[in-house]
Amino acid sequence: MGRSYSGSKWTAAVALAFCATLMVMLPEVSSKRFIVGGSMGWTSNVNYTLWAGNQTFYFGDWLFFVYDRNQNDIIEVNKTNYETCNAEHPVHNYTTGAGRDVVELNVTHDRYFISSKGSCYGGMKLHVHLSPLPPPPRASPAKSHSSRFTVLRSQFVIPAVFAIGAVWDSLILRV
């Protein structure tokens, strides 16, 4: 006697299979959050040129500024104002007053940040150079000794995983 799936069990099994397939196909995408100045944070007596030189910044990354809100602020300026520590015409003021501010690197040009409270002259300024995104990794050509495993994997392992998932799903949904 054959067993038929009810509509909800069948829908759940198809949805599970679709989600699993989608997760396998999605490329890995991630952005990174940088604490500006590392453990020292956004403060005087930190060489931000050296710190930034040891980082690679990409579009979509985040800068996390941690600082004493009574002594410093975060002002984005153009290159000329960065070089002269001039905060009179800022591009943006990211200071919220909490001493914990986040800046998304969501434009493709270099960014320049200073503290307008006098610390810029002591080196409290940050130039962020955005690197182009690296190309996605290329698939390596299949080698003859690995072709058996590839065939085995594609013909048996992946369908078996989906079959086990469907059976598991049907057992859980059974009332």
Pairing between strand 111-114 and 125-128? Answer: antiparallel
Token code pair at residue 51: 């710190």
Q: How far apart are CA 103 and CA 64, in angstroms?
A: 7
Average pLDDT of span 63-79: 94
Q: What's the whole-model pTM score? A: 0.62
Average pLDDT over the chain reads 78
Average pLDDT of span 114-125: 90
Higher-pLDDT residue of 22, 122: 122
Q: What DSSP line would sit under 58-79, residue for residue? A: ETT-EEEEE--TTT---EEE-H
CATH number of 33-131: 2.60.40.420
In this predicted structure, the answer to whether residue 23 has a pLDDT above a threshold of 60 is no
Higher-pLDDT residue of 72, 169: 72
Q: How far apart are CA 41 and CA 64, in angstroms?
A: 9
Q: How many residues does the chain have?
A: 175
Kindly list the domain boundaries of the chain, sorted by start residue: 33-131
